[in-house]
Amino acid sequence: MCKQLSPLLQNDLEIIVLKLLKRAADTNLFIAEESRKALDEVCQTFDEGKIVEVLLGFNSTKTSSVKISICNCLKTLVSNSEENFKRIRNYGQLVAMVLGYILDSSQEVRYAARIAIAATAKHSLEIDEIENILHSMGLSNASIDTVWTTINKDLSNPNTIPALSSLITKCT
């Protein structure tokens, strides 16, 4: 249904994503899960550039569930577009935003960010491109080292990402 309606709903994408992000944080598990599924469908169906633009509008959000949903959106976008992901305008800003989530105080957000960055490295960007984005973020050297060490550890151990995914599933 989302595929058939996407041309009609393109102008309302920001409102749709906003509502879905809010509902994904709902305490009612059924509503939250259905909102996550709908958000995933939106990321698969709508124009990737517009989705990235909308997600960048949530750059200053403090809500952990919204950050987790943004990480899931990045993972979906890179899985669907693969090499074409680099052609999306502002993709580097979204990757930088999720890289910053690796330093978040919420453990669930950190796990979701690590999964999203691993998917990005697997499907779309080379590790040196991710490193360049990380260095362009203006973080302190200690923060850069922390993020970079975490990413390298995740990518070198094939069991890390499935383990993190199972922990995220239990938390949300």
Does position 157 have pLDDT exceeding 50, yes or no?
yes
pLDDT of residue 142: 95
Please name the residues in contact with 139: beta carbons below 8 A apart, sequence gap of 6 or more. Answer: 100, 103, 147
- Show Cβ contacts of residue 140 under 8 Å, excluding neighbours closer than 6 positions: none
| Tokens, residue 160 | 């890390």
Q: Does domain 10-171 have CATH number 3.90.480.20?
A: no
pLDDT score of 75 more than 70: yes
Q: Answer whether residue 11 shows pLDDT above 80.
A: no
| pLDDT on residue 1 | 44
Spatial CA neighbour of 13 closest among 71, 63, 62, 56: 56
Residue 88 tokens read as 């999306």
Residue 124 pLDDT? 87
This model's pTM is above 0.95? no
Say if residue 14's pLDDT is above 80: yes
Has residue 160 got a pLDDT over 50? yes
Q: Tokens 């975490």 correspond to what residue?
A: 150
Exposure of 48 in the CB half-sphere (CA atoms within 13 A): 21
**Percentage of the residues of the chain whose pLDDT score is greater than 90:** 63
- For 97, the token pair is 């935003």
Q: Is the pLDDT of residue 10 over 80?
A: no
- Domain borders along the chain are 10-171
